[in-house]
Amino acid sequence: MSGSANLNTMIKAARKAGRSLVKDFREVENLQVSSKGPGDFVSRADTRAEELVKADLMGARPTYGWLGEEGGGEEGEDPTRRWIVDPLDGTTNFLHGLPHWAVSIALEHKGEIVAGVVYDPAKDELFWAEKGMGAWMNETRLRVSGRNKMIECIFATGLPFGGNPELPESLRACGRVLPTCAGIRRWGAASLDLAYVAAGRLDGYWERKLHAWDIAAGEIIVREAGGFTEPVREGRSTIDHGEIIAANPDIFSKFAKEVRGS
């Protein structure tokens, strides 16, 4: 696999964090039966994974900025570049022993994401892309699906959990999309939903109320695989406002119209 030095550093960091998380995941499956529950253990696994990623990335590029789910944001000496990291996307899946979660790492340059890595250690699937270089899973070039009839498409989204004020709008959007398509999936890891759109496994994905680290790596992988992405509310920023619609070009406009209700 050939990429820039930065990309290779990102891949190495993702794999190292993945190995640590796989060990912890085996433990979490044993913790399911304890009355104390695995919550505290998982937060430690999450923090440890971020520390591993940060040590690798900041060790290689100490002047870059940093934005991570666990550790928050730090300005770098170089104000034009920053790492955006979710060390464990899909924490609830991890907590329940479901093998669907990922390490997500993106590099931003002058406000634009220029490289992204999403690593699913449970399946050993490494999705990656660099601006202008295409998108890949392990050694295989990725391409979004070619389906052009909504009724043949499957889509993914996230559904808000207990007490979230976004629930009514999410249900309305599902109510508009469901009658038009072959089904909606709720996998529970935004970075992998985007990677799956890039791989043609899903035809599209949408979600609101995300964070930069949920979207950053996956979005460039979708775009480099030939997909389209936009914020749910037009005129916003996917990264800054934490919302995204992603799909193959053939059904993007129809899909976006149903999601937006416009």
Q: Domain of 197? A: 150-260
Q: In this prediction, what percent of the chain has a pLDDT beyond 90?
A: 81
Query: Do both 116 and 159 map to the same domain?
Result: no
Query: Do both 174 and 234 map to the same domain?
Result: yes
Confidence band, pLDDT 50/70/90 cuts, at residue 43: confident
Query: Do both 122 and 189 map to the same domain?
Result: no
Here the CATH number for the domain that contains residue 216 is: 3.40.190.80
pLDDT digits (tens, 9 = 90+) for 146-156: 999 999 999 99
Mark which of 141, 161, 184 sits at the end of a domain: 141
Q: Yes or no: say if 161 and 243 are a contact pair by the CB < 8 Å rule.
A: no
Mark which of 141, 160, 180 sits at the end of a domain: 141
For the segment 228-255, the average pLDDT, to the nearest whole number, is 96
Where does the chain have alpha helices with state H? Answer: 5-31, 39-60, 91-95, 167-177, 190-198, 212-224, 238-241, 252-260
Query: Do both 183 and 98 map to the same domain?
Result: no
**Are β-strands 135-137 and 125-130 bridged in parallel, bridged antiparallel, or unpaired?**
antiparallel
Mark which of 83, 115, 141 sits at the end of a domain: 141
Query: Do both 21 and 107 map to the same domain?
Result: yes
DSSP 242: T
For the segment 220-244, the average pLDDT, to the nearest whole number, is 95
pLDDT, position 176: 97
- For the record, the structure tokens of 155 come out as 């889509």
Here the CATH number for the domain that contains residue 76 is: 3.30.540.10
For the segment 168-194, the average pLDDT, to the nearest whole number, is 96
Query: Do both 154 and 244 map to the same domain?
Result: yes
Q: How many CB atoms lie within 10 A of CB 207?
A: 26
Q: Which of 108-112, 153-157, 164-168, 195-199 has the lowest mean pLDDT?
A: 164-168
Q: In this prediction, what percent of the chain has a pLDDT beyond 70?
A: 94
Query: Do both 120 and 15 map to the same domain?
Result: yes
Question: DSSP of 246-259, one letter per residue?
Answer: EE-TTTHHHHHHHH
